[in-house]
A and B are shown apart, each in its own frame.
Chain A
Amino acid sequence: MTETVERLSTAPVPVGPVRRSDSPLAVVRRWWRLLTSMRTALVLLFLLAVAAVPGSLLPQRSLNQSKVSAYFAEHPDLAPVLDRFRMFDVFSSPWFAAIYLLLFVSLIGCIVPRTRLHFRATRQPPPPVPSRLDRLPQAASFERDLSPAAVADAATTVLRRGRWRVVRRRIGDTVEVSAEKGYLREIGNLAFHSALVALLAGLAFGKLNGYEGSILVEEGSGFCNSFQQYDTYRNGPFAEAGDLTPLCADLERFSVDYEDNLTPARFLAELTYTRELGGPASAYPLEVNSPLRTDGIRLYLTGHGFSPRFTITYPDGSQFTDISVPFIPEEQSTLASTGALKLPDRPGAGAGDTQLAIEGFFVPTAASMGDSRLISVDPRPRNPAVAIVVYEGSIGLDSGAAQNVFRLDQRQIERGVLERVDAGNLLVGQSLELPDGTEIRFEGYRQWVALQLSHDPGQLTVLIASAVMLLGLVCSLVVRRRRVWLRCRPADPGAGDEAASRTVVDVGGLARADSGGFSSDFAALVKQFSNHRAGKD
């Protein structure tokens, strides 16, 4: 093999023309060879890159369901067509999977034979000296006043010191030295590609056995790791929903530190958690970039906001005292938030009675009050205020259809079964009295945090595989595979005493991959060969 090109490929060295045969086995073999060929791998690699593009430009269900819905509303004709091609679930689509699975099959089809080949190569001695050393890309000749064996000794010492693998062969008066180094290049190459397969396996294992739940928790309340409690819950097909790692956490306090220019500097959710019911409680300061990790599960702080608190007093004196509902920030810089309070039937109400619902806009620091629009000027709760619109009628909760908890069902309003009765802006402690005498009092706020709990048993595999990949990659790009040969023959063949003889030395060198800088290295080697004295080492 005298290839001199940079080889990063995992493709087996191409063999001679394949005889066409139509037996099924031959067809399979032919397809297998095609699939594992370098060119196919290259095309698949490229195809994978192209296939990922729509997944980044079109909204994806896995990332943002509401954006997908918005896209459907905007492009009513195009969206269903795209959806048929799974364009909104690109990364879980069969065609995307087909590409990467083919790529990995092709990859394995390359790694296995090449590993075998390289294993054999590392156990074989460097090949014998070619007959015409001067034909090699690097060649040199010199003479020394030493016997061929002594010259070979000196060269062997030099090479061994440079961590070359050296073999000496004696042919009559002539001593030949073959040396090779850089086996690590192919090892790195194989390690990189094998680690890639391990990475995919770890990824798949994690996805199949992992789960993820998220939940909003207000100050003073908490949650436990059970899938019924989560606002959203996703699990892999092999993750047992009934068998989640026990963990309960309470949010004691949440705070945000701001810079002078109101850039949030630090979010801190002070948690207490227990690993088992009634077990000892531990405190954990949960922050962005520092999740709570315990027993294979991780708890993250992913968002925060305000829940305005209201007390509703009905004309008959019955009360909902201090009920709060999370509002969703519309604007991260000022935390102006919107939400809806859907009041359940009041105590003692009959089936046909009207229900109350409040749509609201909360600002942590109001700039202006009165009848004008509320404007939020500061994300810190300096002067909390809320603008509310109150509706009466049927909220439609019992219709069975799923409702957005943060908004009223607009269809109920359009249908006229939910009617607007009043509106107003309230500071903490202020109330709005409805025409029927019901009083709505704005009590203040609680803060809430969005928490996400994740379990991914494949993570460590992926991490280790990535590290091996990187190490292998560096080896395969930095280590250079080279061969050097020396032929040391007596200048005056057959002239008596060997020890006194003079030797002609021909040296040849070959860079098997990435010839970068070899000519200067070769020259340095030759210089050492011609100067080094055996025994001086």
Chain B
Amino acid sequence: MAVNDSLAALSDSAFTASIVAYSVGVVGFAGEYAFGGRGRIARTSREQTAAGGVGTETVTPVDSGAGQRLGYLGLACTVLGAALQVLSLAFRGIASERVPWGNMFEFASAAVLVTVLSFLWLVWQAPRLRHIGVFVLIPVVFILVYAGLILYADAEPLVAALRSYWLVIHVATVIIASGVFFLSFVLTVLYLLRQRYDRSVAEGGSMPRAIARLGPRLPPAAILDRLSYRTVAFGFPIFTFAVIAGAIWAEAAWGRFWGWDPKETWALIAWLVYACYLHARATAGWKGVKAARINLLGFFAMTFNFLIINMVVAGLHSYSGLT
């Protein structure tokens, strides 16, 4: 089973091209964020969105002029970037004759792809949210650059322990959950920004300039809060399934379904924190900002589990592909 080097190289090119596409997308969305909301119609429609809620009503995009065109550019670049990423992963998979999520680089790339696709789905459902793409794509570009520079591993065949159909099931679901949780993380950060802005406006106090500038263009806090909840509510069962699938695989591979391996432990920690978040949103005194902070903690646990546990703490899950 030799690795097809030319296909692997093609995969790397597609990966680089996707970063370029997303970067142009950032410019587009940033332009829309800056220019898009000026017109009277745009402002009215935003208020309507606020009143109606997202996903419940069909909101027609009414922005006009440069802002809107930039927004479409951003969207087009996002779609292009996602398509290039799909190609990059597909080429890698074909080149190494396996699923393209066998090391940290491929995992990061695939998870980011899930985030972008979930964002696109969100925009499909609620076109008025398009301009927050800038806050999704900026971290996406950073993660991809980090993955390409630090986590990069050559397309290589898998070690025997990973040759199991559970790799397809377990890792794919972890990737989906991670990507979805990341989108929820971004939405939560935006929610906290918007919340901070609203509070300052209500109290008439001063606020940091960044919040004063960004705040008014952000979607209403209630919508951001609901969206970040729904993304977690979507990702949580998937993550639960992923952990269960991991336990089933561990039973077949390592002789026990749960052994407090650092990776397993942190998966449990992340799961518990997201469970806290879901409960907190239904508990008086914990709704809103407090619950949102728990959501951030949940993603922190996911990131810690991915980066620190793979690279610093030795455990059974040492498949990073890093040397």
Contact = CB atoms under 8 A, between A and B. Distances in A.
Nearest to B232: A477
A298 B276 CA distance: 36
Given A263-B157, A265-B160, A46 B282 contact: no
A397 interface: no
B232 to A, nearest CB: 10
A42 B283 contact: yes
B45 interface: no
B272 interface: yes
A266 B55 CA distance: 50
Given A56-B313, A57-B313, A473-B240, A519 B268 contact: no
A201 interface: no
Contacts of B273: 46, 49
Contact of A49 (B3, B260, B269, B280): B269
Given A466-B247, A473-B236, A517-B56, A288 B253 contact: yes
B254 A300 contact: yes
Contacts of B249: 289
Interface string A31-73: 0000000110110011011001101110010110000000000
B207 to A, nearest CB: 29
B2 interface: yes
Contacts of A290: 252
A434 B125 CA distance: 83
A45 B287 contact: no
Contacts of B268: 49, 52
B254 to A, nearest CB: 7
Interface residues of A, number: 60
Contact of A56 (B240, B244, B266): B266
B47 interface: no
Interface residues of B, number: 63
Contacts of B276: 42, 45-46, 49
A266 B56 CA distance: 53
In this complex, the member of A8, A57, A60 whose beta carbon has the largest number of chain B beta carbons within 10 angstroms is A8
A532 interface: no
B57 A462 contact: no
A463 interface: yes
B306 interface: no
A230 interface: no
A463 B122 CA distance: 34
B252 A516 contact: no
Nearest to A67: B314
A91 B287 contact: no
B157 A259 contact: yes
In this complex, the member of B55, B56, B240, B309 whose beta carbon has the largest number of chain A beta carbons within 10 angstroms is B56
Nearest to A210: B256
Interface in A495-537: 516-520
Contacts of A518: 56
A520 B248 contact: no
Nearest to B294: A46
A176 interface: no
A190 B55 CA distance: 29
Interface stretch (A142-150, A440-448, A452-460): A452-460
B283 A48 contact: no
Contacts of A53: 269
A261 B157 contact: yes
B283 A39 contact: yes
Interface string B248-280: 110111111111111001101100110110111
Contacts, number: 146
A435 to B, nearest CB: 44
B255 A212 contact: yes
A38 B252 contact: no
B248 A5 contact: no
Given A56-B265, A56-B309, A263-B158, A516 B283 contact: no
A42 B279 contact: yes
Contacts of B257: 459, 462
Nearest to B2: A260
A289 B255 contact: no
Given A42-B276, A45-B276, A263 B156 contact: yes
Contacts of B301: 49
A55 B53 contact: no
A516 B256 contact: no
A273 to B, nearest CB: 17
B210 interface: no
Nearest to B244: A466
A477 B236 contact: yes
A374 B43 CA distance: 76
Contacts of B266: 56
B149 interface: no
B226 A516 contact: yes
Nearest to B280: A42
A261 B269 CA distance: 37
Contact of A264 (B159, B281, B283): B159
A9 B282 CA distance: 7
A454 B256 contact: yes
A4 to B, nearest CB: 11
Contacts of B163: 265-266, 289
Contacts of B156: 261, 263
A470 B247 CA distance: 14
A454 B1 CA distance: 34
Given A5-B287, A56-B265, A300-B254, A288 B57 contact: no
Interface string A1-45: 000011111010010000000000000000000000011011001
A520 B161 contact: no
A302 interface: yes
Contacts of B226: 516
A350 B301 CA distance: 64
Contact of B279 (A9, A62, A519): A9
Give the 7 A-B CB pairs with smallest separation, nearest first: A49-B272, A56-B265, A56-B262, A300-B255, A289-B164, A466-B244, A49-B269
13 contacts: A42-B280, A45-B272, A45-B276, A52-B269, A56-B309, A62-B260, A212-B256, A261-B157, A265-B1, A300-B255, A469-B240, A469-B244, A470-B244
Given A11-B283, A259-B1, 10 more contacts: A5-B287, A62-B259, A264-B159, A265-B163, A288-B160, A291-B252, A300-B254, A302-B254, A456-B256, A473-B237
Interface of B: 1-3, 52-53, 55-57, 156-161, 163-164, 166, 226, 229-230, 233, 236-237, 240-241, 244, 247-249, 251-262, 265-266, 268-269, 272-273, 275-276, 278-287, 294, 301, 309, 313
